[in-house]
Amino acid sequence: MSDAPQGPGWWLASDGKWYPPSATTQASLAQVEAARTAAAAPRTSESPEPSGRPKKPAGGRPVVVTAVWVAVAVAALTFAAVVAVSLRAESSDGRAVAERELGIVTSTGDSARPPQRDLVVPLDTCGTDGTSLVAGGRLTNRSGEPSSYYVVALFRTPEKKLATSTVRIDDVPPDGTVTFQAAAPASTELPPSFKCRVTRVERWPATAPAPDAPSS
């Protein structure tokens, strides 16, 4: 035993002393074997990684991504179902469809045969008679019973509204076709050009009292 190696084969023991080759003790061999066993032992699942950080659970990210896509798909299907129901409801309301297609409103409660569809030609004439604005059209009563009508005509230029005129048409027989003419005095000098269109139509049974005339 020495504090420093004395030649080839001397080895350093755990007590900090140097021993000759022939002085290998059972204790030192046991220490070497224990060190080898510890180095070769497999690391358990509970042991931390060398960095000291715990392992991430395997497959965690794919599970989260899958859940997000499932939620998105469910939301898309729900939205599509709501839109489909809304479109079916709107298509069953003939008044709403006619209003959207023709730009003519009504309060008549007949969705199957809306009065907007009774206008064969909403307005086939649009002009003046020298002092007034005039417009004319035709309608056919498709309600299945004698009916009366209000038709509101609008006169306007691209810049402004000129006037409106409400025409009352009484007692039109089923499938009967009549012509009508709306006229409105010009509040100012007659413009060189303007447009006419029907904005509203109301229909009621000819045997019932007439509702108040619409103003527009």
- Percent of the chain residues topping a pLDDT of 90: 43
| Predicted pLDDT at 80 | 59
Higher pLDDT, 110 or 52: 110
List pLDDT tens digits, range 142-161. 999 999 999 999 999 988 99
This prediction's pTM: 0.57
pLDDT tens-digit series, residues 24-39? 555 555 565 665 666 6
User: What is the rounded average pLDDT of the residues 161-186?
Assistant: 94
Q: What is the CATH number of domain 107-205?
A: 2.60.40
Please state, in angstroms and as integers, the Cα–Cα distance from residue 121 to each residue in 56, 80, 144, 180, following that order: 74, 38, 20, 11
Angle of helix 94-102 relative to helix 60-92, nearest 10 degrees, comes to 90
The residue written with tokens 């030192």 in the block is: 28
Query: pLDDT tens for residues 72-100?
Result: 777 777 765 544 444 444 445 888 999 99
Show me where the domains of the chain are located.
1-35, 107-205
Exposure on the CB side of residue 82, measured as CA atoms within 13 A = 6
| pLDDT value of position 85 | 40
